[in-house]
Structure 1
């Protein structure tokens, strides 16, 4: 006569578990149902499962891509036909005394079980009341099983590995696993009755140090992905990792297990260190992998030549340099072509017909052509410090408009430099000018950046942000595209940069200042005519009034 099956569905997640799955399944022979959810095994895992089912007929195989351990375990439970669930991992084995105890709790104990049952197997943890001998425990009862964690075959009772109670038996209509990607657990409602059994699972935790390090890397990466809402820093990683070693090796007696205790304590500490460092790196602002330097110009080939000379000597070159030409004559094109022959990076020339001052339009044309993730825009009369691009990229942050500053070169120095432009390194004459403002200082530049944030709330008190200049600015191309670029409604000089920044802020961005870094030297020239300033200012005020995020005429006509 067949022995009664335990009315519990055992659920198992598997991926390449051929080394431990057979013993795990053998311990579950007397369960009414086994749900095996495969996550893309490429070894003999599924062969073992099918052969087991051919003998015992109680195993059902399902498949799923990885969606997080919590979600996968809930998915496996959803396939179960029984109300009661045992969740077990493929590297765990249900001990025979635990099987007898579960059969006793669920009313399927028979004479053979009674013969093998020991007094120890029916004893509960002394801190918990005895579980009533009823065929169907109340749904709010959950059972926690102690795990015997093995390292290279040895049961380790130190390093926080024992007692290691895991809640694994529960009623599927009463509770479920949380949705954690890793370190998932069964949720405990307020009226839950948690019973700790005195026998549980044998767990083949780690075969050797290689196995331990592999799992350490996997789980620390998943933990960092899951906990992006938490704060992390290198200091926190070092302190918490160091304390983990001290706690596990000394206070939790890892030293009693020789080299194994030392290896486990070190790896536990590394796991803590790596998960916080991975979280720290994951929460750092995205840095661009490519950069386009756009240089605007109009019939200033002598100044442009000096600027290109300074670009040649940059410590960090942009991916490409694009000359945004607002209608210059052929001599500017010839100059660009001559430089392009041996320029250290790609040098392109974007030109449109001269129909007056159309700076926004030529900037948009260059941005459309740009291949870089990050855009730096300067005027064609700005000589660049060797670390100009490096500094912009160091502070580059998504949703941040970076406003650089300039060092004004006096008219005398500008004129003498232009006259000597054919001399090698003539542009370097400006590097001795500017005083403190022209000195790179990492501490001061970070201080200015951290304290200069401006967002759209600014416009609740004032309608104009001072110091917005297109001669030295940068942003992610995607953020520019999100607001449709520069507003081509502007004709003539004035306010096109301020209006761009306003829409940038209304779209959820922020303005930050770049000083004592990203230094550029402005070659002197007479100021542009301001004939159109008043009408341009009205366009700007309309953007402020409507809190516009887009412009009608920009990168794309809306």
Structure 2
């Protein structure tokens, strides 16, 4: 593959009201042959930004679809892709140059696996992208869609599963540009914890009240110590405490939901 040839793979992104981050996201994958964007009703400048990027030469194909849930929307986007090898990105993510080059090299030589975990550097308010030495989030994001897809039973924290061997792409990062105010972060935690409880109830999972005490401590310890967020200063401490808060909200809501059903 020459330096000017597009990467023979698809990128798919779902979005709504992502005017602040969508341009960074899509410009980072401008070298890919196919970019699928599924919008679920943006009311800000997202659609205008997409038109500007398309006019600038990015191979964007835009689809409009009402919101059916995270996993279902991503599966729909995946099915619109022109290539079998696909990269899944969120609208507030971008890939850095080392990762772009690693994917290009992988496609030039031929992937040996059915999918690859990519490393993501989280955005930490008050610090920036997480320190390089933290234990970064690993997610299966680049994969052969013929080998799998999204689990439609997951209403939150949707993920890809594939049949066959997978590997890790160690070069570069997905950069998570989650620039949220404290109010926006609180709203996201409220929404995600509610979705997680709904998913638990649908699966018949029982609440354990004792987890209201221990899960927040576990989440904090995992983030601050095991993932080494202490390297990110006060921002890392705050992010770890917020992880604990999310765990508490989830267990508390689960316990309350079961009590209301019993009543």
Given the two structures, how large is their TM-score scaled by the length of structure 2? Answer: 0.89
Tell me the CA shift for residue 36 of structure 1.
0.3
Displacement of 1:70 in angstroms is 1.4
Q: Residue 274 of structure 1: CA displacement?
A: 0.5
Conserved in 1, the CA contact under 8 Å of 2:148 and 2:161? yes
| Cα distance per residue 1:515-550 (max 9 Å; x no partner) | xxxxxxxxxxxxxxxxxxxxxxxxxxxxxxxxxxxx
In the superposition, relative to structure 1, how do residues 161 and 251 fare at CA in structure 2: closer, same or farther (>3 Å)? closer
The C-alpha deviation readout for 1:178-223, integer Å capped at 9, x for no partner, is 121111111132x323233321211113444333322211211111
Contact 1:147–1:164 (CA under 8 A) maintained in structure 2: yes
1:213 matched to which residue of 2?
186
| In structure 1, distance between residues paired with 2:70 and 2:165 | 23
What SS class does the counterpart of residue 234 from structure 1 fall into?
coil
Match for residue 220 of structure 2?
Answer: 245
- Indicate how the Cα distance of structure 1 residues 251 and 172 shifts in structure 2: closer, same or farther if over 3 A, else same: closer
Which SS does the other structure have where 1:202 is aligned? strand
Change in CA separation of 1:151 and 1:18 when aligned onto 2, cut-off 3 Å: same
| 1:167 aligns to 2:147 (yes or no) | no
Residues 280, 251 of structure 1: alpha-carbon distance in 2 compared, 3 angstrom cutoff: same
Name the structure 1 match of 2:259. 284
Matches of 1:262 and 1:211, distance apart in 2: 19
SS across alignment from 2:171: coil
Aligned residues: 258
Residues 1:272 and 2:239 are matched in the alignment: no
Partner of 1:103: 104
SS of residue paired to 1:284 = helix
Rounded to whole Å, the distance in 1 between the matches of 2:98 and 2:157 is 27
Which structure is higher in RCO with an 8 Å CA cutoff and minimum separation 6?
2
Give the whole-Å Cα distance in 2 for the aligned partners of 1:157 and 1:277: 32
1:161 shift after superposition: 6.2
Instruction: Confirm or deny: 8 A CA contact 2:89 2:141 kept in the other structure.
Output: yes
- The corresponding residue for 2:161 is 187
Q: Distance in 1 between matches of 2:47 and 2:165?
A: 36
Paired residues of 1:40 and 1:64 also in contact (CA < 8 A): yes
Contact 1:150 1:205 in 2 (8 A): yes
| Stretches (4+) displaced over 6 A | none
1:260 matches 2:235: yes
Tell me the SS of whatever aligns to 2:187.
Answer: helix
1:480-519 matches, within 5 Å, as: none
Is residue 156–residue 162 contact of structure 1 (8 Å, CA) maintained in 2? no
Look up the match of 2:28: 27
Cα distance, 1:2 vs structure 2: 9.3
Quote the Cα distance in structure 2 between the aligned partners of 1:246 and 1:102: 34
Higher Cα Rg, which structure? 1
What per-residue deviation string (whole Å, max 9, x for no partner) do you get for residues 212-248 of structure 1? 3222112111111111122214332222113322443
